[in-house]
Amino acid sequence: MEVLKEIGKILAEGVKNDPSLAAIALLVLIAAATLIQLRAEKKLPWFFGLVAVAICAVVFIARTEVNRQKERLTMLPSVEITANPNAVPIIDQLTENQKEDIRKILGKAAQDAANALGIPSHLIRANVFSPGEHEKLRIIKQLTHNMDRLEELEISIPVGKGSTGRSFLSGQPNIAVFNEGWGPNTPGELEIPKVHPDLQWIISVPVKGKAELTRPIWIMNIDCLKDRRDETQLRSALSHLYPWSYTISLIISQAQQTVFRKPADTSLRPVEAYRVAIENGATVERKEEINTLVKDIQISEVPAATKRFVRSMAEIGSLPSLNSFTKHEFDKQVQEHFVSD
């Protein structure tokens, strides 16, 4: 019964988005009406013949729609290496519905992080940064969630600086934790006054295209006010954000098939520092990674889409909903997209 419900959803989505499938579905409905009439007139050979035809038509529609949905769930923009970025900002090529869908994604990603960390959702925020002139990254003002500090919307982060800049330069996620300062993740002295004074941590996730070893298309940030967490906890929350970043890439692909970016800097490394600790009553210096660049992503850290994610995807009108026939393909693509080689 559950499988039949899934097939019904697939058929409904196909009919909604494809006139040719809608025409076939209409023919099936006409055949169904004819079947009823034949059944009433006891013309059984014709009845069973039309039943077979109707079943074949439904199977054809379902298989066609599943294949099309799988294709749409793997259709990422290609990224070409060049010294000249895109002349027209990608945000200007998206429809209002696509922008609204990305805002929904940011809200849902923020909620997933809040749930994973046990933090009130009103303290978790989200935004998207895009590269601009003079090697600076800026917030796309139309794509934010829960951000009401106007100064922050004007922040301009140099490539390679701050959590956002490090993630953009390397093409890898980055985690930054405030600890009497932002250390290597300082966005620049001129930008510090624009940062919310209660900001405690940032998780930066690249929004990438097909190509490897290039800078990302955008950077998706999830951050938090007031409530502190350590790097281990934040890395666990990061695992919930990969599918949302991938989903944004899919929406971008509908407006921009080719994106131009400079190569990523693969030499950028996690930052190490010595921290003073007390062990067995003695003061020792312990070497640790702080404010880390995440470069060793394991397959276990990119889990399959949760039931909540699948339900949430049904609200994203720009993309097909996930179902039991397409979820596995989606999960595989997200893992291939982020897991380290």
Within-domain flag for 308? yes
Q: What is the pLDDT of residues 10-62, one digit of tens each?
A: 545 554 555 555 555 555 555 555 555 545 555 556 545 555 666 666 666 66
> Using N-to-C axis directions, what is the helix angle for 242-253 and 327-338, rounded to 10°?
100
pLDDT at 323: 84
Q: Last residue of a domain, which of 24, 48, 72?
A: 72
If asked whether residues 321 and 246 sit together in one domain, one would say yes
Calpha distance 122→125 (Å, rounded): 8
CA-CA-CA-CA torsion for 178, 201, 90, 217, nearest 10 degrees? 80
If asked whether residues 92 and 68 sit together in one domain, one would say no
Neighbouring residues of 273: CB distance < 8 A, sequence distance ≥ 6: 183, 287, 288, 289, 290
If asked whether residues 220 and 258 sit together in one domain, one would say yes
If asked whether residues 68 and 90 sit together in one domain, one would say no
If asked whether residues 202 and 316 sit together in one domain, one would say yes
- Read off the amino acid at residue 229: R
Q: What is the pLDDT of residues 209-256, one digit of tens each?
A: 997 789 999 999 999 999 999 999 999 999 999 999 999 999 999 988
Q: What is the pLDDT of residues 87-136, one digit of tens each?
A: 789 999 999 999 999 999 999 999 999 999 999 999 999 999 999 888 99
Query: Residue 245 sits in which domain range?
Result: 83-262+292-338
If asked whether residues 159 and 245 sit together in one domain, one would say yes
Q: Last residue of a domain, which of 47, 72, 97?
A: 72
